Amino acid sequence: MSQSDLPPGAARTYRQVRFERPPGSTEILLVRHGESAIADPERPFLLVEGRGDPELSPEGREQAERLGERLGRLEIAACYVTPLRRTEETAAPLLSRLGIKAKVEPGMVEINMGEWEGGLYRKKIAEKDPLAAEVFRQERWDLIPGGEGNQALFERTGSAIRRIAERHADELVVVVAHAVSISAVLSQSTGASPFAFVGGDNASISTIVVSSERWSLRRFNDTAHLE
């Protein structure tokens, strides 16, 4: 029975309101790339624009397939990747299902680790390097020699998201990017500390809705398609 069909004198009732994307806003699915190749200190990753560029591991390719199966049923207007091949390889199964080509958004590329690029960062973390611990304590990547600072990271990722939103009003888009670049966007969406969302899993999905008034976080680190 609708409210207009209520008997005379009956009290009007109200359901809880469900979220609806505001008119003119853009829903962005932020996907972290699948697991990448194992780092070997004897064979550093090749660098692209100063950043390590490993391919996906076999596990990462399986994650990409499952991601494509899940998102391939949605009405996605566009899919963005970064200049690094692990994002292109992660997006490939989805792009095949959608029948579209990826667009490159350089502003969402991974943080520059300076002298710890090429896979060295993983070694420092695994060996509990004191400087690595300090990076996380202070939440500053620029403590790494040559590392990118938070302000530069936030400015370029924020600009990238605004560019994408301006192109896709009232649409759903996918951005396949990296743990730290996604974390920077989510911190800007919520006002959280710079490292609050750094722990996103490979091939996970986080969702923001971007309007002229605000950025709203709707989901973080969804990995249901991998379980």
Residue 77: CATH number of its domain: 3.40.50.1240
Average pLDDT, the chain: 95
Report the C-alpha gap between 90 and 155 in whole angstroms.
Answer: 25
Distance CA 127, CA 130 (A): 9
Task: Tell if the pTM clears 0.85, that is, is over it.
Answer: yes
Chain-centre distance for alpha carbon 210: 14
With a CB cutoff of 8 Å and minimum separation 6, the contacts of 227 are none
What CA–CA distance (Å, rounded) separates 54 from 64? 15
Backbone angles phi and psi of 54, in degrees to 5: -70, 155
CA distance 225 to 31: 12
Partners of residue 28 on adjacent β-strands: 173, 208
Instruction: Provide CB contacts within 8 A for 58, sequence distance 6+.
Output: none
pLDDT band at 84 (very low <50, low <70, confident <90, very high): very high
Instruction: Answer yes or no: is pLDDT of 176 > 80.
Output: yes
In a domain, 183, yes or no: yes
pLDDT confidence of 10, banded at 50, 70, 90?
Answer: confident
Does residue 129 fall inside a structural domain?
no
In a domain, 218, yes or no: yes
Copy the structure tokens of residue 6. Answer: 């209520």
What letter would DSSP give residue 119?
T
Is 29 within a domain? yes
Q: How many domains does the chain have?
A: 1
Alpha helices in 168-210 (DSSP H): 179-190
Tokens of 169: 């009003």
* Residue 104 covered by a domain: yes
In a domain, 122, yes or no: no
Q: How confident is the model at residue 8 (pLDDT cuts 50, 70, 90)?
A: confident
pLDDT at 110 over 60: yes
CA distance 175 to 214: 19
Residue 133 lies in a domain: no
In a domain, 11, yes or no: no
pLDDT at 151 over 50: yes
Boundaries of domain holding 181: 19-111+148-226
Q: How confident is the model at residue 1 (pLDDT cuts 50, 70, 90)?
A: very low
CA distance 29 to 209: 9
